[in-house]
Amino acid sequence: MQTRTKTIAAGMALSLTVLLAACGNGGPSKGDLKDGLEAQDKAHPVQACWAVDNNANVSWPLRVPMNGMTQEQLGVIDGINRSGIATVTTGPFNQNGIPMMVMTVDLTDKGKSANAWDPQKGFCVGTRHVKDVNEFTIPGKGDENVTDVKYTWQYDDLPGWVERDKYPRLAGMTAPAADEAVLQKTSDGWRVQ
């Protein structure tokens, strides 16, 4: 009878240990995932810039076709115009008899004295940084090393001449922007796939 009682007690202890171990393995923490997202940003910084093909040899004013510009580029241009770093106008232009809409960008004295134009990168107004992890999926069987993460980021490391409130059309400048990523558990922690 004592052997049976010991066996039952040992079985209950083993079951309790397994149950507690399973409860403790609820997935990653928000801090672990933020670290993984920040590692990605550090390894591959994302800057908000507007540039032309030959930044080092520009002659002001610049005339640039508007088609093909991204929302981010338009947000940077709008902000440098609002802050007086450059004057920006749009209008029709004929190039070799072909009418097109162009943007004319002219660096102002304020922009020149601030050294706002970088001959390597153009106008760069900030670098993306993770603000918060909002939500993530708990990894399940079969995909225990992968999680979908919803988070916010914002531009930081702003040059001295950048005023955040002058960039309302640039996502992530005046308020955090929402984004999503898939992270995978590695020997170095959680990393963006």
The pLDDT of 186-193, averaged and rounded, is: 86
Distance of CA 168 to the CA centre of its chain: 17
pLDDT at 20 (0 to 100): 40
Enumerate residues 6+ apart whose C-beta is below 8 A from 52.
Answer: 58, 62, 64, 122
Average pLDDT, the chain: 86
Write out pLDDT tens, residues 40-98: 999 999 999 999 888 888 899 999 888 888 999 999 999 999 999 999 999 998 888 88
pLDDT of 6:
53
Between the alpha carbon of residue 67 and those of residues 25, 58, 162, the distances in Å are 51, 20, 26
- At 138, the pLDDT band (50, 70, 90 cuts) reads confident
Report whether 167 contacts 156 (CB < 8 A): no
Q: Which pLDDT score is estimated for 10?
A: 47
The Cα–Cα gap between 137 and 150 comes to 9
> Within 13 A of 95's CA, how many CA atoms are on the CB side?
9
Which pTM was predicted? 0.76
Q: What angle do CA 10, 15, 19 make, to 5 degrees?
A: 150
If pLDDT is split at 50, 70 and 90, which confidence band does 35 have? Answer: very high
Q: Is the preceding peptide bond at 61 cis, omega within 30 degrees of 0? A: yes
Domain boundaries, the chain: 28-192
CA distances to 34, 39, 59 from 156, rounded to whole Å, are: 16, 16, 29
